Amino acid sequence: MSTEEKINLLDLDRQAMEAFFEGIGAKAFHGRNVLKWIHKHGVTDFDAMTDLSKRLRAQLKEIAEVRLPKVVLDQPARDGTHKWVLELDRHNRIESVHIPDGDRATLCVSSQVGCALDCSFCSTARQGFNRNLTSGEIIAQVWIAVHRFGKPLTNVVLMGMGEPLANFDAVVPAMAVMQDDLTYMLSKYRVTISTSGIVPAIYRLREASDVSLAVSLHAPTNELRDQLVPINRKYPLEALIPACREYVRNDKRRKVTWEYVMLDGVNDGIQHAKALIRLLEGTPSKMNLIPFNPFPGAPYRTSPPERIEAFRQRLMKAGIISITRKTRGDEIDAACGQLVGQVKDRSRRALKLQRHLARSLG
C-alpha cells in the first residue's frame, strides 16, 4: 500500500482511534494505547509499541502510519522564541512558533496553508490561500514542539496561519487531542482558538468544544473594521458581539479575549477606546493590545508606546482587563501577523472566500 493510501493516525482523536481499531478487528483499548504511544511518548514506529501483539503491529505497518511534516527550518531567536517552518505537499509550507515565558510555554499553531480573509495589516494574508490543514497536520505541530524540546506545553493558541473556524471539521478533533488525558492534557482554559469573526461557526463551536475563544477585533466600529477585517462586511459587529457573549455564558471563569492590533493614527485614539468600551459593555472581556509588527509593503506604522499605554489605561478604568502584548520573535519574523510560510496561492480572493466559507459552515 502506498503512503498516500495509508491512514495517518495523527488525524484521529480518541473516539476515531478507537473506532479505527475496532474496524480492523482489534479492541478499542488498542486505539487508546496507540494514541498514548504517539502523543505522550512520541513513538512513531509501530515495532516500538511493545504492548501491541506482533500480528497487530504488522497489520498496522500495512495500513497505517504516523506521518509528520518535514521540518525545513528550525530557527531560534535571542528571546527564546523558536520558529519552525514545516513543509507539506507540493512545497507548501506553514509556520508554528514556540514562545517560552518563565514556567509557561505557548505554541502558536497554524490551521491553513495561507489565509483567505485578507486582513489588511497581516503579512500572512499577502500570501493568498491554498488549502485547509488536516487534523494530523495541525496536531503534528504540537507533537514536534513537545518532542523536540522534551517538555510539555502549558498553552496552545490557534493564532498562526489561517482562520481556524474556516477549517472547523479538522480543528475541533485536533483540539480534542490536545486536551485528552492520554496525550497533552491541556485544559479548556489553556487551548485558545482565534477567529476573525465567522459568527455561525462561533455558535457551532459552543456545541462542539469548550476551548477558550479569542476574536480578532481591531476596530470598534463597522466602518473601520470593514477596512481592516473584511469578513466584517459579512458578519458585522451587531452579529459578532452577541455570538461571543453567548459563547462565554454560564461560565464565570470565562472571558472573551479580544485581539486589537495598534495602528498609528488608525484605531489607537482615545475616541476609539471610548467606542470600544461602549461596544463591549456587558461582555466579559480581556483585551490584548498588539503593537503592529511591520512587514515589507505594509501600509501601517506601529502606534507609539505612550499612545498604546494611554489607550490601555482608558480601557482599564472602564473595567476591561487590558494587556499590551510583548513583541516576541520579531527578529525571525515569528511575531503576530508576520507568519508567511510558503503558499502556492490558489485563491481568487472574494470568490474563493465565499465558496470556502460556504463549505466550512455546511
- The CA radius of gyration of the chain, in Å to the nearest whole number, is 21
CA separation for the pair 36, 25 (Å, rounded): 20
Q: For the chain, what is the largest distance between any 2 Cα atoms, rounded to a whole number of angstroms? A: 69
Which candidate in 18, 95, 137, 163 is catalytic? 95
Handedness of CA 149, 153, 155, 156 (dihedral sign): positive
- Determine how many CB atoms are found less than 10 A away from the CB of residue 82: 21
- How far apart are alpha carbons 344 and 93 in whole angstroms? 9
Contact 137, 95 (CB under 8 A): no
Instruction: Select from 336, 327, 268, 264 the least CA-distant residue to 301.
Output: 264
DSSP for residue 92: -
Q: How far apart are CA 275 and CA 29, in angstroms?
A: 54
Q: What span, in angstroms and rounded, lies between the C-alpha atoms of 190 and 11?
A: 21
* CA nearest neighbour of 94 among 120, 67, 65, 132: 132
**SS3 assignment, position 42:** coil
Measured distance CA(263)–CA(275) in Å, rounded: 16
CA angle at residue 219 from 218 to 221, to 5 degrees?
155
Task: Enumerate the β-bridge partners of residue 4.
Answer: none
Q: Is 244 a catalytic residue?
A: no
Task: For the chain, count helices (H), then strands (E).
Answer: 11, 14
Is position 336 annotated as part of the catalytic site?
A: yes
d(CA 330, CA 55): 50
Among the listed residues 108, 119, 244, 336, the single catalytic one is 336
* Polymer length in residues for the chain: 362
Which residues are part of the catalytic machinery? Answer: 95, 336
